[in-house]
Every structure is written in structure tokens, then in C-alpha cells.
């Protein structure tokens, strides 16, 4: 587990992870962005498959089993995705489902470890709203092979502190800029020999 942000060592996630030691190792990137923290985790991982989960989201209990089975049954696949369900928690503690959709969110996907060797790490110079789209755009230009388990695997919590809730207009502006760049790159053909972004 790689925990980032101010107070990472004193966070709830750090306390939970400590309870699983030594089976679970913990890395800290207190002043680092999400992309930096994820890259550190990828580099440190020594496993055939890599998956990610934000502290405020929840995996369906069968997500990992189903995605690993899909990747195991088809060795040509680089990653397995799933359907994401957005939900909120009401003041009384009850859960309210919002909507669901097929998703390539980072927490909805299980990757082969070698996928990041083939398509590079996340671009650490990208903004919070750019890094994931930028990685997927590059990987798709270079032929990444994916498939979905076609069921809800990730429950994504929507709340007042979500970056999209707080900065939606900025996020859309930056994603539109990324889309324009991606379309421009696509018009110029496959990006052969693209170097991994750090």
C-alpha cells in the first residue's frame, strides 16, 4: 500500500495497513501527488497482477476473483475492467445508489504487472484530472488489450470532498484539453517508441 498526502503516516489507512503487517507492506509519499504514489506502488510491487483502491471506495467481494480469472483465461489481455456503481451515504448512514456504468477508472481495473512495463507509468507531470486519461490514451494508441467482467465490481463513493464535486469545471476544462491532444496524436498515427512517463 502506498499512502500519499499530508499526514499520511498518521492516517486511518496507515493504521489499518499496519494491522496486516508483514503480509502488507506500506509506503508513504506524504507530499506526493496521486500519480507519484501509484507509480511508487507499481515499482515496489512484485506480483503478476496489480489493482488499486481509494480509501473511500469499496470493491465488490467478487471483483478481484472475476477479473483475475478473466486475465488468467485470456493471456492476451493486459487489463480487466468492470462496471462502477456510484453511491452516496445519507446523514442517517443509509446508502443511496446513484448510477452505474462501464468504467476504466483506476480502482475498477486489474492490470497485469507487465502492462506498466509495456505502456509506461503514470505521467507525474499531469494534473489530478489528467494523469489517468493521459495514460489510457497512450496505452490505447499503442494497442492495449482489455475486456470487462460486465458486472458491478467497484462501488465509488460520491461525497462533498470528491475532486469532481469540488472542481468539476476545472476538471472538464483539463479533460477537454487532453481529448484535443489525444485526437491530434491519433491523427498522426500510432505513437511508436513512446517512452514511459515519469
97-110 pLDDT, tens digit each? 888 999 999 999 99
User: Given this model, what pLDDT does residue 156 score?
Assistant: 92
DSSP calls for 139-185:
HHHTT--EEEEEEEEEEEEP-TT-HHHHSHHHHHHHHHHHHHHHHHH
124-156 pLDDT, tens digit each? 998 887 899 999 999 999 999 999 999 999 999
Is the pLDDT at 167 greater than 60? The verdict is no
Is the pLDDT at 45 greater than 80? The verdict is yes
Neighbours of 184 (CB within 10 A): 9
User: Given this model, what pLDDT does residue 196 score?
Assistant: 44
pTM of this structure = 0.77
- Distance of alpha carbon 173 from alpha carbon 133, whole angstroms: 13
- The pLDDT-based confidence of 69 (bands split at 50, 70, 90) is very high
Report whether the peptide linkage leading into residue 22 is cis, meaning its omega lies within 30 degrees of zero. yes
Is the pLDDT at 169 greater than 90? The verdict is no
Residue 84: its H or E element? strand 79-89
Query: How much of the chain, in percent, has pLDDT values that exceed 90?
Result: 43
Amino acid at each position: 500500500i502506498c499512502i500519499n498526502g499530508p499526514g499520511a503516516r498518521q492516517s486511518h489507512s496507515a493504521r489499518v495497513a499496519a494491522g496486516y503487517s508483514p503480509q502488507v507492506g506500506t509506503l508513504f509519499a506524504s507530499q506526493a501527488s496521486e500519480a507519484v504514489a501509484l507509480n511508487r506502488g507499481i515499482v515496489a510491487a512484485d506480483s503478476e497482477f496489480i489493482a488499486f483502491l481509494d480509501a473511500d471506495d469499496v470493491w465488490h467481494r467478487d471483483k478481484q476473483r472475476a477479473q483475475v480469472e478473466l486475465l488468467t483465461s485470456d493471456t492476451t489481455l493486459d487489463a480487466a475492467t468492470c462496471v462502477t456503481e456510484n453511491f452516496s451515504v445519507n446523514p442517517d448512514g443509509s446508502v443511496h445508489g446513484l448510477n452505474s456504468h462501464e468504467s476504466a477508472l483506476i480502482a475498477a481495473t486489474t492490470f497485469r504487472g507487465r502492462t506498466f512495463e509495456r505502456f509506461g507509468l503514470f505521467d507525474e507531470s499531469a494534473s489530478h484530472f489528467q494523469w489517468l486519461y493521459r495514460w489510457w490514451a497512450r496505452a490505447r494508441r499503442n494497442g492495449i488489450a482489455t475486456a470487462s467482467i460486465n458486472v458491478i465490481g467497484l462501488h465509488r463513493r460520491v461525497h462533498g470532498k470528491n475532486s469532481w464535486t469540488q472542481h468539476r469545471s476545472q476538471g472538464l476544462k483539463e479533460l477537454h484539453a487532453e481529448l484535443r491532444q489525444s485526437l491530434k496524436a491519433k491523427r498522426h498515427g500510432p505513437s511508436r517508441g513512446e517512452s514511459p512517463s515519469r
